[in-house]
Amino acid sequence: MLDSCKLKSACNLPFICNKKINTAGTSNAEVPLADPGMYQLDITLRRGQSLAARDRGGTSDPYVKFKIGRKEVFRSKIIHKNLNPVWEEKACILVDHLREPLYIKVFDYDFGLQDDFMGSAFLDLAQLELNRPTEVTLTLKDPHYPDHDLGIILLSVILTPKEGESRDVFQTQSVRLSDQHRKSHLWRGIVSITLIEGRDLKAMDSNGLSDPYVKFRLGHQKYKSKIMPKTLNPQWREQFDFHLYEERGGIIDITAWDKDAGKRDDFIGRFVQLVIFGSP
């Protein structure tokens, strides 16, 4: 049994309106070790071609992550059931040096499950000509299977120096540069879920019991409860908080599983909850 979802207003909590970002790609001997100023990188994620099929129907639900170092700086929308997706999404990223690559990673969205990796590439910004729009084609690869053909991603990019502006001023101005980039980092509320207990769950093991745990998913956010061994009436008493980014709310997908060592876990059941922002 799941406790009701509680929404906490985020109006009195601090927002992260912008982030300092380090981007780069391959190398360029002409770029000094310490760049004199800031850069602005405007990216248009255009489309993918011949992407890898990860679903049983021979298709995928791809989306793209852009990362610098270990930080995610932008995430695209999901294009359902398409190996040749068209995004045409724009992002504005702030750069304070050109020493780290911009990584592009593509995933297949799996509702209630772990998303499947579809390939990655990186862009060397130091190879770009400043102030000039550049069309970029990136070949996706899997480091574990380098010979696999995973398709391509097409981008348009412009790298612009901002040498005459201080970092503080540039960061303030960056709040207005891209609505999509800003929305990807600002949350509008918190969905708080308390997982209390399960009752009369289905027995999935030969001993007439299960080792149940619960997965929660809201958009790209995921949580997993602890595993309760050998019981059909587990007591969890755990709480999970999700950030609510969409203005109209979202859908929480809740699935119960039986943990099986050495093989695929057994699916017990699913519950889907619609969350409306501002509802009691």
Per-residue pLDDT at 30 exceeds 50? no
Q: How many CA atoms lie within 13 A of 18 on its CB side?
A: 21
Mean pLDDT of 241-252: 71
Q: Residue 52: exposed, middle, or buried by beta-carbon count in 10 A (0-12, 13-18, 19+)?
A: buried
- What's phi and psi for 114, nearest 5 deg? -75, 130
**The pLDDT of residue 107:** 93
What confidence tier does 73 reach under pLDDT thresholds 50, 70, 90? confident
Q: Which amino acid is at 72?
A: E
How many percent of the chain have pLDDT more than 70? 72
The pLDDT score that the predictor gives to residue 262 is 83
Structure tokens that stand for 191 in this block:
């969905």
Residue 172 pLDDT class (50, 70, 90 cuts) = very low
DSSP for the chain, please give it.
Answer: -BPPPEEEE-TTS------------S--TTS-SS-SSEEEEEEEEEEEESPPP-STTS---EEEEEEETTEEEEEPPP--S-SS-EEEEEEEEEES-S-S-EEEEEEE--TTSPPEEEEEEEE-GGGSPTTS-EEEEEE-B-TT-TT----EEEEEEEEEEETTS-HHHHHHHHTTT-HHHHHTT---EEEEEEEEE--SPPP-STTS---EEEEEEETTEEEEPPP--S-SS-EEEEEEEEEE-STT-EEEEEEEEE--TTSPPEEEEEEEEEE-TT--
The arithmetic mean of pLDDT across residues 141-155, rounded, is 92
* 201 confidence band (pLDDT: 50, 70, 90): very high
pLDDT of residue 178 exceeding 90, the answer is no
Mean pLDDT of 84-93: 90
The mean per-residue pLDDT over the stretch 72-91 comes to 89
Q: What is the pTM of this model?
A: 0.53
Alpha-carbon distance of 120 to 148, in angstroms, equals 12
- What is the overall mean pLDDT for the chain? 76
* Contact status, residue 49 vs residue 151, Cβ threshold 8 Å: yes
Q: What tokens appear for 6 in the block?
A: 């509680």
Given this model, what pLDDT does residue 139 score? 95
The answer to which of 88-97, 128-137, 170-179, 182-191 has the lowest mean pLDDT is: 170-179
Task: Please give the average per-residue pLDDT across 221-225, as a whole number.
Answer: 85
Q: What's the pLDDT at 94?
A: 81
**Euclidean distance between CA atoms 102 and 118, whole angstroms:** 17
Query: CB-based burial of residue 128 (10 Å sphere; 0-12 exposed, 13-18 middle, 19+ buried)?
Result: buried
Whole-number pLDDT of residue 163? 64
pLDDT at 84: 96
Could you give all domains of the chain from N- to C-terminal order, each with its CATH number? 6-10+187-275 (2.60.40.150), 38-183 (2.60.40.150)
Band of pLDDT at residue 276, cut at 50, 70 and 90: low
Identity of the amino acid at 266: D
Mean pLDDT of 130-153: 91
Burial (0-12, 13-18, 19+ Cβ within 10 Å), 209:
middle
Lowest mean pLDDT among 23-37, 120-134, 143-157, 254-268: 23-37
Which of 79-93, 97-111, 180-194 shows the lowest per-residue confidence on average (mean pLDDT)? 180-194
Alpha-carbon distances, residue 249 vs 59, 223, 245 (angstroms)? 28, 18, 8
**Between 66 and 190, the higher pLDDT residue:** 66
Mean pLDDT of 233-252: 77
Report residue 157: phi and psi, to 5°: -135, 150
Q: Rg of the Cα trace of the chain? A: 22
Q: How deeply is 89 buried, as exposed, middle or buried, from its count of CB atoms within 10 A (0-12, 13-18, 19+)?
A: middle
Of residues 182 and 43, more confidence is placed in 43
pLDDT surpasses 60 at 169: no
